[in-house]
């Protein structure tokens, strides 16, 4: 199990003219067993405190403050499985979709880019202090649109991008849109404009296809030498065979056995309500309409092909 954390958990973040404010919760790293960090924040009653990092001090961080690895993803592609299984390695702390990164990355950005990068770096330092040992970030899917900012903040950190057949991703997003895709106000409106500035998408299926293409286009801005493309079809074995070594995490036989056991369960099941995972690729393919497939071919596949070419791969799983 992870060691006892040394500092409170960063639960919220806000940038102001004078600097970054963090809301901290007295939650130990061993509590981060839920699929998403925010579920832990809601579940665990904890004292709250606040701290400020003055604007001139942003980016001034100690050694070993960067994450050991970053998981970017295109949504509904197995990234939660990746983060839950990596927790079973036992010698790192995994922060799954931490809300403070959403709050810094959501446009319009409060700071110019170089200061936003510095703020992200300082936020990482706060998580390093909480973890007290190596830690990983599994970010929200829409954070991938701004993955170059995160990568610039942590220039030595390796990353993976979780991918899945764009048809299956789009079918899932249309059927069950995440909160940030719902409605026409607030974060949903901001992110919709980031993906589709002119409002050209004629349907939810077309928007999902454009979104997938935007994720791939954003990932093309990253250094491929630091990254790996992780296909859904390669899961779960690639988690311990590829991702863990890429992040510098050793996996012995006992750890692998724990990881394999975790991979058999539904990664998003509520804590204490584990259920066996069942695949749904066939049902998603069957549910795809001709219009959705046409949108995928027009808006998603060209960007996916460009991303794979950049990484020297041509097909899923290669």
Structure confidence by residue, pLDDT tens digits, 135-169 = 999 999 999 999 999 999 999 999 999 999 999 99
Give me the residue spans of the domains in the chain. 9-310
Q: Please report the pLDDT score of residue 318 as a whole number.
A: 38
- How many Cα atoms within 13 Å fall on the side-chain side of residue 85? 27
What DSSP string runs through 31-49?
Answer: GTTSSSHHHHHHHS---EE
Q: Is pLDDT of 209 > 70?
A: yes
Which pLDDT band, with edges at 50, 70 and 90, does 281 fall under?
Answer: very high
> Residues 200-224: what's their mean pLDDT?
97
- 96-117 pLDDT, tens digit each: 999 999 999 999 999 999 999 9
Beta bridge partners, 4, equal: none
Which pLDDT band, with edges at 50, 70 and 90, does 6 fall under?
Answer: confident
Burial of residue 314 (number of CB atoms within 10 Å: 0-12, 13-18, 19+): exposed
Q: Report d(CA 80, CA 38) in Å as an integer.
A: 13
The interaxial angle of helices 253-263 and 79-87, nearest 10 deg, is 140
> Residues 285-292: what's their mean pLDDT?
98
Q: Report d(CA 98, CA 83) in Å as an integer.
A: 12
What's the distance, Cα to Cα, between the start and end of the chain in Å?
A: 34
Beta bridge partners, 158, equal: none
Q: Report d(CA 286, CA 267) in Å as an integer.
A: 23
Question: How big is the CA angle at 301 (ends 300 and 303), to the nearest 5 degrees?
Answer: 70
Q: Please report the pLDDT score of residue 317 as a whole number.
A: 44
CATH superfamily of 9-310: P-loop containing nucleotide triphosphate hydrolases (3.40.50.300)
> Residues 19-48: what's their mean pLDDT?
97
Q: Please report the pLDDT score of residue 265 as a whole number.
A: 96
- 7-19 pLDDT, tens digit each: 999 999 999 999 9
The interaxial angle of helices 186-195 and 204-219, nearest 10 deg, is 70
């Amino acid at each position: 199990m992870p060691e006892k954390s040394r500092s409170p958990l960063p639960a919220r973040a806000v940038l102001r003219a004078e600097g970054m404010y963090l809301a901290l919760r007295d939650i130990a790293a061993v509590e981060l067993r839920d699929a998403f960090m925010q579920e832990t924040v809601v579940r665990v009653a904890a004292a709250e405190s606040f701290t400020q990092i003055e604007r001139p001090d942003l980016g001034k961080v100690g050694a070993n403050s960067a994450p050991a690895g970053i998981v970017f993803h295109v949504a509904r592609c197995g990234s939660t499985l990746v983060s839950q299984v990596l927790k079973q390695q036992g010698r790192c702390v995994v922060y799954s979709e931490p809300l403070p990164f959403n709050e810094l990355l959501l446009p319009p950005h409060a700071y110019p880019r170089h200061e936003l990068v510095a703020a992200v770096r300082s936020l990482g330092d706060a998580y390093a202090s909480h973890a007290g040992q190596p830690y990983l970030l599994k970010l929200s899917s829409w954070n991938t649109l701004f993955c170059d900012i995160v990568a610039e903040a942590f220039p030595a950190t390796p990353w993976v991008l979780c991918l899945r057949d764009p048809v299956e991703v789009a079918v899932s997003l249309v059927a069950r849109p995440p909160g940030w895709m719902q409605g026409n106000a607030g974060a949903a409106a901001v992110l919709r404009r980031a993906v589709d500035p002119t409002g050209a998408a004629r349907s939810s299926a077309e928007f999902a296809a454009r979104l997938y293409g935007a994720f791939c286009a954003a990932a093309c801005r990253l250094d491929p030498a630091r990254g790996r493309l992780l296909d859904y079809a390669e899961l779960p074995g690639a988690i311990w065979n590829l991702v863990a070594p890429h992040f510098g995490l050793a996996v012995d036989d006992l750890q692998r056995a724990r990881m394999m056991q975790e991979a058999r369960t539904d990664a998003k099941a509520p804590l204490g309500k584990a259920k066996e995972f069942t695949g749904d690729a066939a049902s998603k393919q069957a549910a795809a309409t001709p219009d959705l497939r046409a949108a995928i071919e027009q808006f998603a596949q060209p960007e996916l092909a460009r991303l794979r070419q950049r990484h020297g791969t041509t097909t899923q799983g290669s």
